[in-house]
Structure 1
Amino acid sequence: MTISTIPIASLLLVLIPVILVLFIQFSWSLNYKEGIYASLRMLGQLIIVGYLLGYIFSAESYWVILLILVGMIGLSAWIALRTVKEQRIKQYGYVLIALLAGGATTLALVTQVVLEFTPWYKPQYLIPLGGMIFSNCINSISLAADRFYEETNRGTSKIEARNLAYANAMIPATNALFAVGIVSLPGMMTGQILSGVDPLIAVRYQIMVMAMIYGSEGISSAVYLWLMSRLHKSP
């Protein structure tokens, strides 16, 4: 089975629910402009990355792939601190360490040990899997940072704030483990099934992805919070 190309006219129809959400935000006097900006940015980023990936996938130099991964980690660390903007510069190094400890090591395990593809820097695997890992780490660290500061600002001890922040950061990942296969069929599994892959093979890949995401989120959030509770001095 070959996945058919979606015509542009048909693709535009999927924006109808997005427009409805923006209208609701406007009607309720909420920040609809942020939604418009986010939607336009999403469209622009995906169109650009579509062209960029064509070049990346044809690249035969591992330096190009490593440079892209370094850029992904650097941007992920900056985005993860969006909820604590006043602390971005101070905490940037902590988040980098956390992403390397939880994200980069998990990516290496999956690509070099579990999948064992050749060459080791094969971009068709390394870039998409790295994107999955680091994007989810962004969410968990962002939730952890926001809750940690909320708790410490109200006088909670750093250790207790760390524990509460970690529990909060892991809620989405834990919910995803509960829901997968029952409530939802995640993106990778759905894509493989649509392309004609045996569902049982797709399940193996999805198990790998779920474990990869849960582990990378948990480790990176824990490392970040450990650094914050032990080393960071509150302003």
Structure 2
Amino acid sequence: MKESIQIIPFSNLALAFIPVAAVIIIIWKWQLNYKNTIYAICRMLTQLLFIGYILTYIFASDSALIVGLVLFVMIAASSWIALRTLSIPRQTLYLMSFISITLGGGIILFFITQFILILQPWYLPNYLIPLAGMVFANAMNSVSLAGERIEAELNRGLSYEEARIIAFKTSLIPITNSLFAVGLVSLPGMMTGQILSGVSPLIAVRYQIMVMCMLFGSSGFTSALFLTLIKNKLATITDTDTKP
């Protein structure tokens, strides 16, 4: 089973936007914010085309400094985006978000790449960068869910300890659902990509098991750390809001 992956012509790729356009029409007809959806699609397209060229350069450069810079940009961006849904100003919690994603995701990434994959060199970009993207994106979503939920529960009058438990549980819902569904409902991205490129499904399964453990670990560590770090900051904000 060693076939080269099929290359998608741009003319065929354009057809993928037909269902996208149909959904945008529904959004417009139902009087929702279709402009935001169009902006999101355009941004996705621009970012992916841009990163395609950038990754080609990075993979060829074989530079630890460049790889490190890419990881920093990933963490900095994900830390900012994670706080998008909170009513609290992002700059107020940004440092906590940055630390949580750096440690919660970074420790897991280091463990996976250096003790399971044993990358040589340690910064091997065609492995490290895709895995880092998975870890930090997952950590970002965990921070976003945990932050949104603990804010909502505190506004309902729950104590911090009660709100933290609910927020932590909420942050684990997506990855827990994925654990239940993987192999039964879905074949995740890495496994699908490897199978499409001709790798044996038995080998692809090993990588996917590693990825699922990696994502679960990064999600749990990151959200737990974030919820711990923001305790005093949330208490300060709550006290300020309750003062006459």
Tell me the TM-score range normalised by the shorter chain.
Answer: over 0.9
Distance in 2, Cα, partners of 1:22 & 1:234: 42
- Map Cα deviations across residues 3-55 of structure 1 (whole Å, 9 max, x no partner): 12101111111111111111111010011111100000000000000000011
Matches within 5 A, 1:135-150: 135-150=137-152
**For the Cα contact (< 8 Å) 2:179–2:212, is it kept in 1?**
yes
How far 1:84 sits from its partner (Å)?
A: 1.4
Q: Specify the code of the residue in structure 2 equivalent to 1:181.
A: G
Aligned to 1:200: 202
The SS at the match of 2:88 is helix
Whole-angstrom CA distance in 2 between matches of 1:34 and 1:138? 21
- Which residue in the other structure is 1:9 paired with? 11
Counterpart in 2 of 1:212?
214
- Cα distance per residue 1:52-95 (max 9 Å; x no partner): 00111011221111111111111110010001153311111111
Correspondent of 2:230 among 228, 231, 234: 228
Question: What is the one-letter code of the residue matched to 1:110?
Answer: I
Matched AA of 2:183: G
Deviation at 1:117, TM superposition (A): 1.6
Deviations 1:132-179 (A, max 9, x none): 010111111101111111111121111111111111111111000000
How far apart are the structure 1 equivalents of 2:210 and 2:136?
15
Matches within 5 A, 1:1-235: 1-84=3-86, 86-230=88-232, 232-235=234-237
AA aligned opposite 2:177: N
Taking only the aligned residue pairs, the percentage that are identical comes to 52
Number of equivalences: 235
| Shift in alpha-carbon separation, 1:4–1:180, aligned structure 2, 3 A | same
Letter in 1 for 2:13: L
CA contact (8 A) 2:101 2:136 kept: yes
Equivalent AA in structure 2 for residue 121 of structure 1: Y
- Aligned-residue Cα RMSD (Å) equals 1.1
Q: Secondary structure at the match of 2:85?
A: helix
**TM-score relative to the length of structure 2:** 0.93
Q: TM-score, normalised by structure 1?
A: 0.97
Counterpart of 1:129, as a letter, is L
State the alpha-carbon separation in 2 of the partners of residues 107 and 130 from structure 1. Answer: 7
Equivalent residue letter for 2:108: T
SS in 2 for 1:11: helix
Which runs of 5 or more structure 2 residues have no equivalent in the other structure? 238-244
Stretch moving more, 222-231 or 123-132: 222-231
User: Would the aligned equivalents of 1:159 and 1:229 in 2 still touch at CA under 8 Å?
Assistant: no
